[in-house]
Chain A
């Protein structure tokens, strides 16, 4: 089977698993936890796309996630102007467009400096969300009332775990499939080449800023889509959503799962949420334990949990 065919088949199988999980898990705490996990998995995916295609580590992706949530919330709240579907779509497109413009500048910054820059930009967005009370509701947050129907589905579907789980699950699978297809495309190959050796790519005749900015934009758009789902489900968004610790968590999920595959960050998000749920019961220091786990994974599985199958198939030193 061709690579694209495999991705398609994998995506279909994963999509089909959604209803199965929904049938097995009774509505309740666990299911709503899974909804949150899917939504944050999309954020982790966006961080992973940036790491894989651009080789860049972001400490600021909560800003894109939060911007998607705020813009969708504001769009839905503006009475009788835009159809809800258009407002949601515009939220994602606006974040994507802004990230493209921003990308043209920030992708010229590399390594640690880029990570610091994203951290600073992210915190600037956090401050803005706090200060712009008129638009964002400031520290109190923004409460969003959904219209009666969105995309032909009753609003309640989006705000109950049974309904939202399927929606978030399918969105997550579709976006991961998109990321996997991108990585296999000509454009994906070019961006990976630029990641590996930007100078040589230029000497092969390629401009390197536009492709990198495009990846940054795509990554921002994926994060914004996660934010849109977030606000639909919770009917609320506050500056906490934009806080750097959210960016940090997304990065932990992406690294835990590994960024060499599109599904790695998703697996990382699942492990993060399920483990946190268990650890919180046991100790307040769950974050510390999670940190230790991350260190162990980084040391023994530099490609993250998604590197495990490969590692098992081809033990160290047995590379082709």
Chain B
């Protein structure tokens, strides 16, 4: 069997006394779109941070297609083929949308920036400073900055945060198309269960910094502990 696209072993991270991650193992198969769900504060963003090199883990290792990237910083991980987006929109407010994408593309020698602008409905905004665009446009720009290349593995931390249910589903469908067409492996953190069940082949459930369950959408839907943990807090 070929190496997993992304493989984590025993990832841990603490904030002061709080254990945000307690020994997480994760394997993404090449080309899969994996959902990562869990209640608020479960550690989803922390996991993405440790995987992407934003925050150091206190234990554990990360491999990208077999290559150990545990010690690498964010820039080196991007060069190795690992990209991410952010839960809180992270763009370059004063710069024109097109220039931002060009900048992202140039670094990794990509030529797909113009096409990606079209595909994410940003081409008409190419000359507009990002801060003058609508919130939804900024979310798609954040996604585009991560997707340009394309990278081999993409970590998306709630790309639809703050969008309406309708917009979320539209973005999810677009994302699935783009990822499939490019063969990108995706880890998708998402609150909206409808979105996750719609586009993910497998789902991992995180609770209190540990993996509670992993399986197909059907298995996860029926998993009694998931129903208890996740629906319990989602209702709150």
**A positions within 8 Å CB-CB of B:** 186, 189-190, 192-193, 196-197, 199-207, 319-320
| Known A200-B92, A202-B73, A203-B84; contact A193-B145, beta-carbon cutoff 8 A | no
- Least CB distance from B159 to A in Å reads 14
- Least CB distance from B35 to A in Å reads 22
List of A residues within 8 angstroms of B9 by Cβ: none
| Known A189-B103, A199-B90; contact A205-B132, beta-carbon cutoff 8 A | no
Interface with A: B57-65, B75-83, B194-202, B221-229, which one? B75-83
CB closest chain-A residue, reference B76: A205
List of B residues within 8 angstroms of A205 by Cβ: 75, 78-79, 107-108
Q: Which of A186, A189, A203 has the most CB of B within 10 A?
A: A203
CB closest chain-B residue, reference A194: B92
Q: Which of A196, A200, A204, A320 has the most CB of B within 10 A?
A: A204
Which of A193, A207, A319 is the one whose CB lies under 8 Å from B92?
A193
Q: Is B66 an interface residue (CB 8 A)?
A: no
Identify which of residues 85-131 in chain B touch chain A, using a CB-to-CB cut-off of 8 Å.
Answer: 86, 90-95, 99-100, 102-104, 106-108, 128
Give the tally of cross-chain contacts (CB within 8 A): 59
Which of A190, A200, A319 is the one whose CB lies under 8 Å from B90?
A200
| Known A189-B103, A197-B91; contact A203-B132, beta-carbon cutoff 8 A | no
List of A residues within 8 angstroms of B78 by Cβ: 203-205
- Least CB distance from B170 to A in Å reads 24
B103 touches A193 (CB 8 A): yes
B100 touches A203 (CB 8 A): no
| Known A190-B103, A193-B103, A320-B128; contact A204-B73, beta-carbon cutoff 8 A | no
Bound-state Cα–Cα, A193 to B73, Å: 19
List of A residues within 8 angstroms of B104 by Cβ: 204
| Known A190-B103, A320-B128; contact A203-B92, beta-carbon cutoff 8 A | no
List of B residues within 8 angstroms of A320 by Cβ: 128, 132
List of A residues within 8 angstroms of B103 by Cβ: 189-190, 193, 204
Bound-state Cα–Cα, A202 to B107, Å: 11
- Least CB distance from B175 to A in Å reads 18
- Least CB distance from A61 to B in Å reads 24
- Least CB distance from A209 to B in Å reads 11
List of B residues within 8 angstroms of A206 by Cβ: 75, 107
List of A residues within 8 angstroms of B7 by Cβ: none
CB closest chain-A residue, reference B151: A205
A189 touches B107 (CB 8 A): no
Bound-state Cα–Cα, A206 to B73, Å: 11
List of A residues within 8 angstroms of B93 by Cβ: 196-197
| Known A204-B145, A205-B75, A205-B107; contact A189-B99, beta-carbon cutoff 8 A | yes
A197 touches B92 (CB 8 A): yes
- Least CB distance from A83 to B in Å reads 42
Could you write out 25 A-B pairs with CB less than 8 Å apart?
A: A189-B95, A189-B99, A193-B92, A193-B100, A193-B103, A196-B92, A196-B93, A196-B95, A197-B91, A200-B90, A200-B92, A202-B73, A203-B52, A203-B54, A203-B74, A203-B90, A204-B107, A205-B75, A205-B78, A205-B108, A206-B75, A206-B107, A207-B75, A319-B132, A320-B132
